[in-house]
Amino acid sequence: MNDEQAIGQRLSAGDTAAFKALYDIYFDRLAAFVFKLCKLESVTEDIVQEVFLKVWLRREGLAQVLNLESYIFSMAHNRVMDYLRTLNRETRLREHIARQETLSDKPEAPLHLKELQHLINIALAELSPQKQQVFRLSKQQGLSHDEIAAEMGLAKSTVKNHLSETLRHLYRFMGPHTGPEVLLLLFVLRHPH
């Protein structure tokens, strides 16, 4: 059994000293790896913390992991790729919305932003209070799924399901009242600048 496997065994038993050893071994290299991919210091910090948190939360299965380094770096790589895909999608959507907002200054524009917000509020009112709160925490306050789950005492999968169901509901509700560009706005409510 190599050192990594020994650390994995100890971690799976809940050994906090093993976790600290793992953190000390990989933190700097993992941070450099993540920064090289995303080029943003704040995002690097968040992703590295998230990876170590996931390692701790999934510690019971680490005894089965043969290459802990590969496991940790793969987790970080996947999280960076998720972040970059989301950033790319939100950037494109924001650009599209910005182009559409210039059209909303014209008198023939079908909806103004206040009317849109009013429609969203009506649609949200049809949902359970829990789904409304999950949506607002995610899309209006910018909290992550993990943060929402912790704040509301829900499983992360429940948070994801609530958001997915809420967005489907909003699409169905908003579709007859708006054009496709307004539906795109639903994705960028999280970052309204």
Residue 78's domain is classified under what CATH number? 1.10.1740.10
User: Looking at residues 20-40, what average pLDDT do you find?
Assistant: 94
For the cut 80, the answer to whether the pLDDT of residue 154 exceeds it is yes
Do 117 and 78 belong to one domain? no
**Global confidence as pTM:** 0.51
For the cut 80, the answer to whether the pLDDT of residue 79 exceeds it is yes
For the cut 80, the answer to whether the pLDDT of residue 189 exceeds it is no
For the cut 50, the answer to whether the pLDDT of residue 165 exceeds it is yes
CA 9, CA 192: separation in Å to the nearest integer? 46
Model confidence at 94, pLDDT cuts 50, 70, 90, reads: confident
Positive or negative, the CA dihedral 43, 48, 52, 55 is: positive
Supply the pLDDT for residue 180: 54
CA 48, CA 51: separation in Å to the nearest integer? 5
Backbone φ, ψ for residue 29 (5° rounding)? -65, -40
* Residue 88 domain-assigned (yes or no): no
Number of domains in the chain: 2
The structure tokens 């509901």 sit at 169
Do 119 and 182 belong to one domain? yes
* Residue 53 domain-assigned (yes or no): yes
For the cut 90, the answer to whether the pLDDT of residue 183 exceeds it is no
Do 134 and 73 belong to one domain? no
* Residue 179 domain-assigned (yes or no): yes
Do 122 and 68 belong to one domain? no
* Residue 136 domain-assigned (yes or no): yes
Do 76 and 119 belong to one domain? no
Model confidence at 192, pLDDT cuts 50, 70, 90, reads: very low
Side-chain half-sphere exposure of 85, counting CA atoms within 13 A: 6
CATH code of 147's domain: 1.10.10.10
Do 11 and 64 belong to one domain? yes
Tens of pLDDT, residues 104-136 = 555 444 556 677 777 778 888 888 999 989 988
In this structure, the number of other CB atoms found within 10 A of the CB of residue 55 comes to 21
* Residue 65 domain-assigned (yes or no): yes
Identify the domain containing residue 15 by its residue range: 3-82
For the cut 80, the answer to whether the pLDDT of residue 48 exceeds it is yes
